[in-house]
Structures are given as structure tokens and as C-alpha cells.
Chains A and B, each alone.
Chain A
């Protein structure tokens, strides 16, 4: 099952690379902003990525998955804290109604990026490929940045 899954993922990634110049309607209406990858401690095998997708079109859009050449795989996850217990749930395709935005941010939805193929530190950039359900593909440059939590002088 997982073999099938990863093979499908590879196929989609190839399509994404081979036909990136065929923009579908949904793709043109989808705008990704504030994309970034959280710099992780050295040796980390999982990183998190965040971004905002806005659907400027008049039709519903679905991002079925994300891939990146710098990682072995990318999954969409969601952190949920219930009764003080944190759990991560696999989150399916991202559904973005017309005119609305979907935000991936710390503590909520996020990209889980597995096994970086090169060391990534703040200042590096990673290309994320957003796979839109109609077959289109959207490339996004996500800078690697260190997360600063309410910095104090």
C-alpha cells in the first residue's frame, strides 16, 4: 500500500516537472504567500513548512499534495491539542473555497517534510511543488528561517 502510494507520488511529481508550463485555470487563481520552512536542529529528519494559499478564483480548488526535490516526501499534517495532549493527524487534500484562504501555521496545519537531502539552514531556499487537483502544478520558493518566538530584548 505504501509502495503504491509512493509510486503514485513519484508519478505526480514527474508530471509536475514535465508539464509545468500548462497552467490550468485553478492554478492561475491560486496564490501562495508567506511560505517558509522552519530551520531545524542539525541532524533533524523531519522539518515543518508553513504557507498561506489564497483562491482568487470563482471555483473551488483542491491541493491534493505537495512535493519537494529536497525531501524524500512531504505530507500535510495538522497539530491538534486536546485536553493538554498534542497529536499530529494526517490531513488530507487542502480544500480552498473560492475567494478564501487556507493557512498552514505553527500549531495548526503544516507540511511535514521528511529526510532533507541536503543540510538546510536559515537563508537557504526550498522549492515546493503544490499539486492542484486538476493536474496543474504550482511551484513555490520557501525560504528556510529560524522561528523566533516573541523575542525579548
Chain B
């Protein structure tokens, strides 16, 4: 209890005031205030007691279609935030998501998998499309201007930051939140999967949440 009070005083209140703090505190707060779904360790999903509405945002998918709040409604969505110049973490996460998709293909749920770029400057819709469909022909790549991306990422507590590395032949790298975000068919933010991500745990947790949702 003492700990909870001190958490509210020292972290939560300044966290609300200071946006930057809120980003880091977001996942921590989610962990404290929510239940873990999976019984296995490491836990994959952190589910919110009540799904959270998503504030307005508007982006474009790699086919040129609008991707906004309305696009999230009517089906489940797994969103990952990455970039195509990322050779290690992002392809691994995309492979995991493909494995999740295959596990859930007979689950009777309508599910979409989306990678939102954190590198809109280099990730053109064409490049994004090539990247995501390599892992699964049904995957969607989404991009937008940086301010437009921030409209979505800020409210989810997602961090992405360009790192200029003079020694790096790619020019620059992007540090980014490696979690996968789940949205329910109401278009609400339902749960978050934090790394390390495994297809087994993610598919299992998803099935439990989808059953509870029905």
C-alpha cells in the first residue's frame, strides 16, 4: 500500500504532467494496474481492466488507403512499430507475428497485422509494402508524417527516436518501442505484448482475451 501511494505521488502525477515521463511510466503503470493473462513466464500480454479508447489519428497504409480509428474497428489488430532499415529486431518480430497469424488462422477471429513505420523518411509506401508482405501477404504497412505518427504513438506511450551514428553506414538508426499493441474490434487499445515475444504465448494469450471479449 505504502508502495502504491509512493508510486502515485512520485511517478503517476508527474507522469501525467510530463509527457516524456509518461512514456516510460506507461508500461510500468500498466504492469502495476493490470492483470497478466498468461500463466507462463515470461509473460506476453498485459491486458487493461477496461479497453482504452484511441484518440483520433490518421495515417496511410502501403496501398494508399486511409488507416485511422475507423480502420481499427470491426476486427482485432496487432500493431508493431518498426522500420525497414532494422535488420535484427524488426524482421524477428515480423516473423513472430507471421507465426501468430498462422496459429490463429483457424481461430474464427478476424485479425489484422500491421507494421507502423517509425522511419517515415526512408520507408516509402512501396518499401513498406515490400517489407511487410515478405513476411505475410496479408500484412499491412502504415506510414504518415511524423506529427501524424505521433498522434498515435504518444497516446500509446510509444517511443521512437532517430539516432545519428556517424560510424554507421546506414546513416542513422531508430530506437523504438519493441512491444506489440493489440486493438479489439471496438477499435479500443486492449492489451500490449512486451518483448521477449514468442508466438506461442502471444497466440495463447490472444485466444483467452478473444474468448473473454465475446
Chain A residues near B (Cβ < 8 Å)? 1-2, 5, 38, 40-48, 72-73, 75, 77, 79, 81, 83-88, 90, 106-107, 110, 112-115, 147-152
Contacts and interface: CB of A to CB of B under 8 A. Distances in A.
Given A112-B87, A149-B98, A150-B200, A46 B170 contact: yes
B143 to A, nearest CB: 16
A152 B99 contact: yes
18 contacts: A1-B166, A46-B87, A72-B169, A75-B169, A79-B88, A79-B89, A81-B89, A84-B179, A85-B177, A86-B176, A90-B167, A90-B168, A107-B88, A112-B88, A112-B170, A149-B92, A149-B199, A150-B99
Interface in B183-210: 194-196, 198-200
Interface residues of B, number: 41
A82 to B, nearest CB: 9
Interface in B80-96: 84-89, 91-92, 95-96
B191 to A, nearest CB: 14
A102 to B, nearest CB: 16
B199 A150 contact: yes
B134 A41 contact: yes
Contacts of B89: 79, 81, 86, 88, 107
Given A84-B178, A85-B175, A114-B169, A77 B92 contact: no
B131 interface: yes
